[in-house]
Amino acid sequence: MKKIDNPKKQASIALKKAQSHLKNIIQMIDEDKYCIDIMVQISAANGLLKSASEKMLKNHLRTCFAEGIKTYKQEVKEQLIEEVLGVVNLNKKG
């Protein structure tokens, strides 16, 4: 299988897999499947979402952030840093 190097594409793939997991989870709930099995699938979907978030952060750091940090304007640099820290903190909570 060919490795995909584009973080956005990797994130998209992870999100599509998560979408499929969520559909299956809803079906499992509707069919009154065993709760532990449902929770295992929810955990798998959460892992895919986390992976997608990490891929998007990696893409942002390599593109938008890297370009923006080259600016000489300190307020732009500070804004970029605060944005990244905000997202990292959100991911810690989730």
Q: Is residue 1 part of a domain?
A: no
Domain count, the chain: 1
Residue 2 confidence (pLDDT): 57
Alpha-carbon distance of 74 to 35, in angstroms, equals: 52
Q: Is residue 2 part of a domain?
A: no
Residue 4 confidence (pLDDT): 65
Per-residue tokens: 48: 């895919």
Q: pTM score, two decimals?
A: 0.81
| Digit-coded pLDDT (tens) for 30-78 | 999 999 999 999 999 999 999 999 999 999 999 989 988 888 788 988 9
87: domain CATH number is 1.20.58.1000
Alpha-carbon distance of 40 to 46, in angstroms, equals: 10
pLDDT(94) > 70: no
Per-residue tokens: 13: 């793939």
| Contact criterion met (CB below 8 Å) for 25 and 74 | no
